[in-house]
Amino acid sequence: MVAPVRPLGGGRRERNGVLADRAIPVLKGALRRLWLDIPGGLTWGGSGGLLGALAMHPILTELLSKGPVITDGAWGTELQKAGMPLGEFPDAWNLKAPDRVGAVARAYVQAGSRVILTNTFGANRLRLADAGLVDQVAAINTAGVQISKAAAAGRALVFASMGPSGKMLLTGEVTPVMLREAFAEQARILAAAGADGLVVETMADLSEARAAVEAAKETGLPVVACMVYDSGRLKDRTMMGTRPEEAANALAQSGADVIGANCGQGVEGFVAIAGRLRAATSLPVWIKANAGLPEYVDGNAVYRTTGEQFASFLEPLIMAGADFVGGCCGTRPEFVAELSRALATLPPKGGIDGRGPAH
Ligand SMILES: [Zn+2]
């Protein structure tokens, strides 16, 4: 399949003076697409060598140099299994029960995650204020990174999680400036604590996601930007109606280094989304699906998809264009182990220097 190469600046309204800056990434994208079209070449998005050096943050180039990367699974549902009471603010456990948060992180590293996240999804000032924890923004985020770094022990990179504010821009509940400042504060703390990257995730509002990405970019770390596609007949829109193509373009313009989708539906729905993101952007694609939709048994969410079933979608996801694959709600360390096993059985596709995946 030959992906269309977008003409420079094509289809986008450029403001005066921005064109030169925009032309460079578009050109890199065109080069990368040409590379992806080399027969028998790298059919997934991971790129190394010349193009990686041109197009990607060095941390991502290094990560993707051996092919697709397995990330981690869910944290919230794992912490509940570890005894976190319902109603507890999960991020507060970084201070109250760091050993149990660390156990989740270690389990993912042992299962084969090459990137793990942090228990900082809700640790922006706007959400912490609602939980009465606004004076602990720095402590909770710093501890979150330290816990994951200690668990990774150099065997995995730590990309720190930044979730939504929980406030609606549309209704005026929060202003763009408030959002930007809250995300910038969190991103600065996560970066100072030693995060290797930042993951803006589970976003439903593209404007909020863009504010978070722009704030996160100021740290100089690679930034992953993920929306939740859980709406519409095909479950290919965010709650606010945004489609993958629109999100990919807007998030790239905001500076995202990786474009992703997470949560909201089971893994089978993510193959089409990965393909649409791949067609819309030359940036690496990040996918974290749920373990199906939960059933509620005695008030508890039960996820029926098994790790094996989940991992059977690894190859279709990679063929569709995913570069990073992990899991969201309901996925567990055994899902990561199954994904790692499945990756090892995929035929090498060959890299720019013919190395292919080192498995
Ligand atoms: Zn989720």
Give one DSSP letter per residue of 225-267, joined into a string.
EEE---BTTTT-B-TT---HHHHHHHHHHTT-SEEEEEEEEEG
Does domain 56-345 correspond to CATH entry 3.10.450.50?
no
Per-residue confidence band for 258, with pLDDT thresholds at 50, 70 and 90: very high
Ligand 1 centre distance from Cα of residue 91 (Å) = 15
For ligand 1, the distance from its centroid to the CA atom of residue 266, given in whole angstroms, is 10
Share of the chain above pLDDT 70, in %: 82
In sequence order, what are the residues at sequence separation of 6 or more whose Cβ sits closer than 8 angstroms to the Cβ of residue 331? 73, 74, 77, 288, 289, 290, 291, 303, 307, 310
What are the extents of the domains in the chain? 56-345
144 versus 355: the higher-pLDDT residue is: 144
Containing H/E element for 307? helix 307-311
Q: How far is the CA of 164 from the centre of ligand 1 (A)?
A: 12
pLDDT at position 351 is 42
Q: How far is the CA of 117 from the centre of ligand 1 (A)?
A: 13
Average predicted confidence (pLDDT) for the chain: 86
Pairing of β 324-327 and β 157-162: unpaired
Cβ atoms of 163 and 121 closer than 8 Å? yes
pLDDT at 37 over 60: no
Question: How much distance in Å is there from the Cα of 15 to the middle of ligand 1?
Answer: 37
pLDDT reading at 43 higher than 50: no
pLDDT score, position 349:
59
Position 222 pLDDT exceeds 50: yes
Q: Six-digit token pair at 1?
A: 């399949």
Cα(300) to centroid of ligand 1, in Å?
15
Count other C-beta atoms under 10 Å from residue 166's C-beta.
14
| C-alpha 53 to ligand 1 mean position (Å) | 32
Judged against a pLDDT cut of 70, whether residue 2 lies above it is answered with: no
Tell me the CA–centroid distance for residue 249 and ligand 1, in Å.
23
Average pLDDT, integer, range 50-78:
86
| Overall average pLDDT of the 313-329 stretch | 98
Give residue 37 CA to ligand 1 midpoint distance, Å: 33
Instruction: Label the pairing between strands 115-116 and 324-327.
Output: unpaired
pLDDT computed for residue 353 by the predictor:
40
Ligand 1 centroid from CA 136, angstroms? 24
CA 248 to ligand 1 center in whole angstroms: 20
Q: Would you place residue 146 in the very low, low, confident or very high pLDDT band (cuts 50, 70, 90)?
A: very high
List, as ranges, residues with CB under 5 A of the ion ligand 1. Answer: 263, 328-329
> Residue range 248-268: average pLDDT?
98
> For residues 296 and 269, what is the distance between their CA atoms, to the nearest angstrom?
21
What confidence tier does 301 reach under pLDDT thresholds 50, 70, 90?
confident
Question: pLDDT per residue over 7-16, tens digit each?
Answer: 333 333 333 3
**CA of residue 116 to ligand 1 center, whole Å:** 15
Has residue 24 got a pLDDT over 80?
A: no
Quote the pLDDT of residue 26.
Answer: 42
Whole-model pTM: value is 0.83
Cβ 121 vs Cβ 161: under 8 Å: yes
Distance CA 284, CA 69 (A): 11
The whole-number pLDDT of residue 162 equals 98
pLDDT at 299: 82
Place 178 in a pLDDT band, splitting at 50, 70 and 90.
Answer: very high
Q: How far is the CA of 10 from the centre of ligand 1 (A)?
A: 35
User: Cα of 313 to ligand 1 centre, how many Å?
Assistant: 17
